[in-house]
Chains A and B, each alone.
Chain A
Amino acid sequence: MRTGIRLPPPRVLDILGLLVRLGLAAVWLVSGAIKVADPGQFYTAVQAYQLFGPGVASLISAAVPFLELGLGLLVLLGLGTRLVAVVSALLLLAYIAGVAQSWARGLTIDCGCFGGGGQVAAGQTHYGQEILRDTGFLLMAGWLVLRPKTPVSLDRWLTTGRQLDGKREHEHP
Chain B
Amino acid sequence: MNTRKNDRGGRKARSAVASARRPNRSMTIGVVVVVVLAAAVIGGVLYQRHRTAEAAVAVIPAVHAAATYPTTVDRAGATVLVGKDTAKVTVDAYEDFLCPICGQFEAANFPDLEKQLSAGTVQVRYHLLNLLDDRSVPPGYSMMAANTALAVATVAPEKFLDFHYSLYQKQPEESGPGWTQAQLTSLANRLGVSGAPFDNLVDGKTYDARIQQNLQTAENDQSLWQTSSQGSGFGTPTIVIGGKPVDWTQPGWLDNAVSAAYPS
Interface, chain A (partner B; CB < 8 A): 9-10, 39-41, 43-44, 47, 54, 58-59, 61-67, 69-71, 73-74, 79-80, 83-84, 87, 120-122, 124, 155, 158-159, 162-163, 165-167, 169-170
Contact = CB atoms under 8 A, between A and B. Distances in A.
A73 B20 contact: no
A47 B133 CA distance: 13
Given A10-B11, A79-B32, A163-B14, A67 B137 contact: no
B255 interface: no
Given A43-B137, A74-B33, A163-B18, A63 B44 contact: yes
Please indicate which of the listed interface residues B22, B29, B34, B138 has the most CB atoms of chain A within 10 Å of its own CB: B29
B66 interface: no
Contacts of A54: 137-139
Given A70-B36, A166-B20, 19 more contacts: A9-B4, A10-B8, A40-B176, A54-B137, A59-B45, A62-B45, A62-B47, A64-B44, A66-B47, A69-B40, A70-B39, A79-B32, A83-B33, A87-B37, A158-B25, A162-B18, A163-B18, A165-B21, A170-B20
Contact of A43 (B4, B20, B175): B175
Contacts of A80: 29-30, 32-33
Contact of B37 (A40, A67, A163): A67
A53 to B, nearest CB: 11
B174 A44 contact: yes
Nearest to B37: A70
Interface in B18-58: 18, 20-22, 25, 29-30, 32-34, 36-37, 39-41, 43-45, 47-48, 51
A155 B137 CA distance: 42
Nearest to B138: A54
A47 to B, nearest CB: 7
B20 to A, nearest CB: 5
Contact of A41 (B18, B43, B175): B175
A103 B25 CA distance: 44
A169 B20 contact: yes
B117 to A, nearest CB: 33
A47 B37 CA distance: 23
A58 B8 contact: no
Those 3 A-B pairs whose CB atoms lie nearest each other, nearest first: A40-B175, A70-B40, A66-B44
Contacts of B6: none
Contacts of A70: 36-37, 39-41
B67 interface: no
Contacts of B17: 163, 166-167, 170
A169 B21 contact: yes
Nearest to A87: B37
B33 A79 contact: yes
B18 A166 contact: yes
Please indicate which of the listed interface residues B18, B33, B176 has the most CB atoms of chain A within 10 Å of its own CB: B33
B175 A44 contact: yes
19 contacts: A39-B51, A40-B173, A40-B175, A41-B175, A54-B137, A62-B44, A63-B44, A65-B44, A66-B40, A66-B44, A70-B37, A74-B33, A80-B32, A80-B33, A87-B33, A159-B18, A162-B22, A166-B17, A166-B20
A121 B33 CA distance: 41
Contacts of B88: none
